[in-house]
Structure 1
């Protein structure tokens, strides 16, 4: 009998009411461990024989529980499948295919002779529907993959040996409600536990803690317990408070104090015990009050700004199986990176995650286990959200979410789900929450008109739309004038923005500026925290992180699941460093040697921070100086006069003031000295500039030999290419306009700003091909070079080249001008002048030159921006300094290879083999102070372009140095908006220069300083 697989009911059998996940001293027995396992091909062929306690399962396999069976056995039990929106089965609700892998799980366990009244069997997570037998007695059916199910098994369990069978179906009617942009991973993936319920037990409780500005806290009390559980006492030892209720009629709320409030910045918790006649329950209480005042969301009376992340539960080996050590490290990295909020996309996490959020400090949007996105392909026809047959399932899901997590201080918003359209069932969910919990608002992005929700929410709004939401004019999605007026009375948050797929996202600082400008805007949640790559192996055994299609799926959404700020192996991306810089809670500005420190904290002062400053002159840093910054209240500013040692001085080099704030003491998430915020200000800069045009150049003649020498270098006399300099073999320079397309470059999901300016398209851009398609159509990936001239004089070598592509009338004329200084014959200068033909009609990915170098030149030391990479729309984290890194540190190993590693505004660069510096160069600025940047890579852009995974990249016998005068921005067009016009690279005449200096000597300065007053500097800015 398998009708339950395809019905609308939320579950059946001996299901217990939803309740809190409590820490109790009552007896419990974990049933995690080795289970016997057999996989059936269909739910329609399963028999019930295995439910018999005497069934012989000796020929079954053994697997661990928790686990996902598709991640075990190297494909023996099937493979994982990834889809974003698509259902991997026909959309015919509530029916599922006959091909429905069904995992049969059995185990025996020994139960002590507990002195209890009842025993519950709890499953914290099973995908997707499961049926349970205990000692041959059918217990019930559980549904809701990321929700807890408890069954009363009192009369089925026995002291001594017991036999448990759990039948898990991969597909069911409930799969239509769980289309959540992640891997489909069937199995018992969270804990299985037997819970003894003593006589006088506390079945459920809710201590709803609020904070008042007189310093007191109030505790609303709700107890679910029988009369024999009384008296029940609430003890808060640290507050010296004991409250005893003699009977159910006595239960009422009470006031305590004074208390310290809980916030994401100061997560103050008080240990409490609730003691009945049969049980002691332990809780950690946080006092905070959530309230909406007009269009402002307040916690403890102050507006909350979310610097948040969407967090799926994912691990490359364990899938959604919980590991506390990894979860704690994950959340600590969030805190270290300035993340203050989490949206639990798109389901409640393992309950211990919320314990950790309470402890470490996060504002949490707790989201129900619900998404029906695949119905968008049917125009939302038949969507369960508006079908009354599904109402009970919808209400069951939100009830189990709220009841489980209601005691958590970190949970300040309930979210009904994600991308499930709209309809009566969602409205019914909201009504239920509003009746049940008056202390938290309700969120759901799909309610565009705020018909049944308390917050206005959008995904990936462009900048013009976001400004319109913050202001009082402009059309809003799905709203008429009256509805737009209503939603503008609500607090606004972006539940998803800045899609972090591959190299990106660009444009974070623009969103942050809007949130600062418009009080109605409350920030948002980056999509998303972590790549979902699963560990896989190539044919030769090489490990890689797989994505959609790598496991043989017929229907999949490719690498759209690789869209996190953290790689599958826990490596933070440069995008996370950029996020941290943009979101930092302290901002610095400088005027007339007066440093202003502005706090963006919600609720804490700066007492926990100490401040330092450093003056960098050229590539040399002064000693760090402690700054006497006064204690600053949240939202306020303070000024400090710079000590004389940090003020601008006359120098032959540029000068930079760097300041930072760091933790005074160790915290639960970072050690003492962890940097919280940085700022940098240019006090004196370069003056000599490279001018576009044709400079004076000594007339020369065509070289007569195949090899010619100029100073420390040799060249190919026929092509003018450099072949050796300072004893290092080189091939170059070659104009390079291509880059390994990023995921954003490859996408046309949103409009193109190349085809339609933001102001002409309401911020969206015009529909059209991706940037990568436009670039490829014009041949930028297959440029050919024609040498038009090679001429040489005593101190100069000139090569003129025309660069173009097959079947294209587009071209670029390039002049490479080499000059040796007669006074310093070991220093060689290269100036590159280029002029594109007038018929270019697309942006360029980059414009620069490539040098092919010996394979062992893999260590870089540079004076320029760093330590992480920087692009035009992702450069707030970049600061000028002296840095060193190996080639593999300089580049990000994205699971789909793509452009990576550019560092802008290079002053000087030294390359070594790890022991000896063998190549050294420096650059010159143009009239705006702009300098070229550099990339050092093991791969060419064309190789990155062709590879779908890192193991497909060639093992080259060279490394490749790119000196790029400019690069195109990143954007977030994989799901968000295109690169803004001001960050786009358009063809145009340009010139840039560099000098190659003797590796053993001092780097020759390529510029002279120009004066710039301190008042010209301001808050950290893209460079």
Structure 2
């Protein structure tokens, strides 16, 4: 159960005479079932793979009312019950009153009884395979439709397709003679539909369908600004004002983003938007090793952009630009991202936003990357060209590209435990408008994602029931460049590698057009865009390394760069280098704690996001020795590298002792005062890793006579199901310490009640702090 597709292939190879059937897979808890198409591509590729069973059908929640009479679905712990499984009973494809969750559409699509394969789309040739065991495909009507921008170009019904069970036949759809415009995008949908009504569906219901692109997605047609119109630019103490025919925009000099977008004197924004990297975690995100555990560790749940620099330029009478540079910091004021936004404003009213992002090297994965705007609540009517169904990178087989419309409330899916939902992907364009047609158009230089909601991310994140949600007086509009998949990590694999959003330098562009969308058709706006201005090429960040893997003695700093013709300046006090700072020529020696900051320079190139700051902390330890070696052969200095291993991720830097104690002796370079000793251990029942039974700290001046300064015991039998990182901390006042001993007692073997009773038990630790 819960094997990955790769593990299924391995099971098939290991058992050549047996079928492969997963009794449970794609755990449907919350917003889930990512990767189901990957499973079935694998299953169909190997005849001995016979299928798998989703866990499970329905959320086991019970209707309850609070003291105010508000109704909600309750789950474990809501009845004063302890112990309980919390929301682990909410893992169905439908909720308790049988309203379907969006993942049911994906399951239905992947499970459909006909497989389609394009043979030659220019000729309309498609291979169809009948997966039904007893029914010929001629018992269904076969329809086809060609659409573009929401309109039907051609449609028809094919002659009966006679394909016996498990037989493959080739059909020919008459699209060969269609005249396709190079400026339009065309899609063919082929479906098999019920001829007559049956107890479970009406006549005409599509039991299987597939969509095929008939041409490449056309490139935008760039146009030059009209010389007859002008853009008026004014600067005040707090804002930069832009005016043109029928519009007025303002950019806040404090926020670095738009504080006002007004068209025909109608304000569209509620407050300034921001660059955004976070989504309210799904149930899967909360336990995925590439999800919330890492995101929270680096403070991605508390990010705020801090404006470092803003400047504007009037390029010509029709065009102006504003450049904003941000540090995006977490609650601890650590810089997680450096961002540069270049806003280009045209006299036509069009806005282009180029965004460059440099993430901190410590950050591994991201929930998403995009812009979050806060628009007036009246902009409740949504129209878009892209996938109509809720889709994510690893769950979009059911997506059909077309033009759709809905209200903001209709695009929200109410999970019993509030969480990320409602994303639409492969977006060409999207509009939000009021009942009179005034609103905001958005598109990107690439396919985008969007979602809209009436709740803040923070509210959704911390809400445990639907009654905890507090509607806002505005609409949150997420327009995202990238989004991580959703996986099935609550019980099974996390997000598969192709769908992880790795933190790396990124660049993307979006376009905003405030307009009366009842007069200006979105598809017309999409086809024609103002030509982007050329921008200066960017210098890449240099790489800064130290000659010693553990900095407890003098070492040399090396700066490497791939750029040609650039010079690199540096400082050692954390200040940003300028062209008068020392020039880097060769590796240089450091022998004390310092912050090395480097910056490349090259005429005609931008270096706004190319600054590297790296703090090297001189460790006052002459030796680190373990009485018993660690199982995973990591060097002992990983315990002092200031790189904190991740809860649940066994390969992120934890030092593992299996069946043995940890007995570490730290020798200082000289006697020092010690005020704090702290060490972290992991307790994760899911991975069968438990805390030590006892932790002891001792200090000594001579290495012979030790003084115990801390001892704490732990009984695994008291809290066997805990998942946490526990910190053992001793605040002391010892002034002449040359040696510190840290001892952790492993329980050696799993206890009698454990499924692995008698086997050697692992104990995992990372990061010791001595102050």
Specify the TM-score bucket, using the shorter chain as the normaliser: 0.5 to 0.7
1:859–1:884 Cα contact (<8 Å) kept? yes
What is the TM-score normalised by the length of structure 1? 0.47
Quote the Cα distance in structure 1 between the aligned partners of 2:454 and 2:136. 47
From 735, 742, 758, the equivalent of 2:282 is 742
2:190–2:211 Cα contact (<8 Å) kept? yes
Structure 2 residue 262 is matched with structure 1 residue 729: no
Structure 2 residue 133 is matched with structure 1 residue 605: no
Q: Alpha-carbon deviation of 1:681?
A: 1.2
Higher strand share: 2
SS at the partner of 2:491? coil
Structure 2 residue 512 is matched with structure 1 residue 995: yes
Match of 2:595 in 1: none
List gaps (5 residues or longer) in structure 2: 223-230, 530-771
Match of 1:259 in 2: none
1:852–1:958 Cα contact (<8 Å) kept? yes
Higher helix share: 1
Match of 1:869 in 2: 390
1:687–1:925 Cα contact (<8 Å) kept? no
SS at the partner of 2:166? coil
Q: Alpha-carbon deviation of 1:747?
A: 1.6
2:233–2:242 Cα contact (<8 Å) kept? no
Quote the Cα distance in structure 2 between the aligned partners of 1:997 and 1:873. 32
Larger radius of gyration: 1
Match of 2:596 in 1: none
Q: 1:611 to 1:906 in 2, by over 3 A?
A: same
Deviations 1:904-930 (A, max 9, x none): 1212222234x322213131333xxxx
Match of 1:714 in 2: 249
Structure 2 residue 295 is matched with structure 1 residue 782: no
Structure 2 residue 496 is matched with structure 1 residue 980: yes
2:376–2:475 Cα contact (<8 Å) kept? yes
1:614–1:646 Cα contact (<8 Å) kept? no
Match of 1:568 in 2: 96
Match of 2:78 in 1: 550
From 581, 589, 593, the equivalent of 2:109 is 581
Quote the Cα distance in structure 2 between the aligned partners of 1:952 and 1:717. 33
Deviations 1:640-691 (A, max 9, x none): 2221478461331111112222111111211101111111111223343799
Q: 1:646 to 1:809 in 2, by over 3 A?
A: farther
SS at the partner of 1:781? helix
Match of 1:906 in 2: 427
Q: Alpha-carbon deviation of 1:629?
A: 4.7
Q: 1:642 to 1:801 in 2, by over 3 A?
A: same
2:298–2:363 Cα contact (<8 Å) kept? no
Q: 1:686 to 1:814 in 2, by over 3 A?
A: farther
Deviations 1:523-551 (A, max 9, x none): 01100011111000122110000010111
Match of 2:597 in 1: none
Q: Alpha-carbon deviation of 1:623?
A: 4.6
Quote the Cα distance in structure 2 between the aligned partners of 1:877 and 1:739. 23
Q: 1:687 to 1:925 in 2, by over 3 A?
A: farther
Q: Alpha-carbon deviation of 1:706?
A: 3.2
Q: Alpha-carbon deviation of 1:579?
A: 0.5
Match of 2:637 in 1: none
SS at the partner of 1:788? strand
1:810–1:839 Cα contact (<8 Å) kept? no
Quote the Cα distance in structure 2 between the aligned partners of 1:567 and 1:639. 40
Match of 2:320 in 1: 796
Q: Alpha-carbon deviation of 1:507?
A: 0.8
1:565–1:575 Cα contact (<8 Å) kept? yes
Q: Alpha-carbon deviation of 1:853?
A: 1.2
Q: Alpha-carbon deviation of 1:584?
A: 0.8
Task: Spell out the pairing of 1:63-212 with structure 2 (5 A cutoff).
Answer: none
Deviations 1:819-876 (A, max 9, x none): 3334xx2x3122231222351432100111111111232221111111x111010010
From 493, 497, 500, the equivalent of 2:21 is 493
2:234–2:242 Cα contact (<8 Å) kept? no
2:184–2:218 Cα contact (<8 Å) kept? no
What is the TM-score normalised by the length of structure 2? 0.62
Q: CA RMSD in A?
A: 2.6
Structure 2 residue 235 is matched with structure 1 residue 703: yes
Q: Alpha-carbon deviation of 1:955?
A: 2.3
Total equivalences in the alignment: 502
Q: Alpha-carbon deviation of 1:583?
A: 0.9
Deviations 1:759-791 (A, max 9, x none): xxxxxxxxxxxx212101111111111112333
Match of 1:466 in 2: 8
List gaps (5 residues or longer) in structure 1: 1-458, 474-484, 692-698, 755-770, 1010-1023
Q: Alpha-carbon deviation of 1:710?
A: 4.3
From 479, 482, 489, the equivalent of 1:963 is 479
